[in-house]
Amino acid sequence: MNILRVHSSARGTEAASYQLSQLIVDHWLSQQGDSAVVIDDLHADSLPHPDAPYSAALRGGEDPAEADGSLPLSDQLISQLRAADALILAAPMHNFTVPSALKAWIDHVVRIRHTFVATAEGKVGTLSDRPVYVAISTGGRLCGGRQPDFMTPYLKAVLEVIGLHQVQFFYVESTAMPDPQLRQAAWQQAVAEVKAHFA
């Protein structure tokens, strides 16, 4: 068994989203029992954006014989995703949606002819389904807060396009609130939700 973690906070392992993802990984690992498990860590912060050769390949009817530009990177990221038994995305909310680092990873792996096909009925995913866990951190309140959440519906929709339908979301909210008790309570709530899910 192997789980691929894609994390996308500039704060690396200090990040609340990373720490929430680690809690999920720990629970996932204990659920797997004795099966061999590998965690593959990918820090999306270092990824370049898809470039002109990538865009040309998408517009053409087929891939070029010689993959150049960011296409080999895209191939590699797709292979890594395909090989994962489970996926975990760890991400802070940035301006109501995913951070640009995670968006770059998404743009590399959501690729026509590779992870989905276009049909008359719309895009159809070609990856085999597997569990996806999403660890989201937000500075403010999300549920009941005064801000929209484009991140959850967006991730649901874009993962669906490539065939990933078993998506479970976890949140740690209020990380930028000045009151330490509020932050502590928000973390405890996130921990309780993870525990309940894996119980």
Ligand X SMILES: Cc1cc2nc3c(=O)[nH]c(=O)nc-3n(C[C@H](O)[C@H](O)[C@H](O)COP(=O)(O)O)c2cc1C
Binding residues for FMN: 9, 137-140
- Of 24, 81, 92, 190, the residue at the interface with ligand X (CB under 6 A) is 92
Question: According to the binding rule CB under 6 A, does residue 138 interact with ligand X?
Answer: yes
The one-letter code for the residue type at 84 is A
Q: Smaller CB distance to ligand X: residue 74 or 138? A: 138
Phi and psi based region of residue 131 (left: phi greater than 0; alpha: psi -120 to 50; beta: remaining):
beta
Question: According to the binding rule CB under 6 A, does residue 11 interact with ligand X?
Answer: yes
- Of 13, 76, 95, 166, the residue at the interface with ligand X (CB under 6 A) is 95
- Those residues with Cβ within 8 angstroms of residue 71's Cβ, 6 or more apart along the chain or in another chain: 53, 54, 57, 63, 64
Question: According to the binding rule CB under 6 A, does residue 133 interact with ligand X?
Answer: no
Q: Smaller CB distance to ligand X: residue 21 or 74? A: 21
CA angle, residues 137, 140, 145, in degrees to nearest 5:
115
Residue 9, class by beta-carbon neighbours within 10 Å (0-12 exposed, 13-18 middle, 19+ buried)?
buried
| Residues engaged in binding ligand X (CB under 6 A) | 9, 11, 15-17, 92-96, 137-140, 147, 175-176
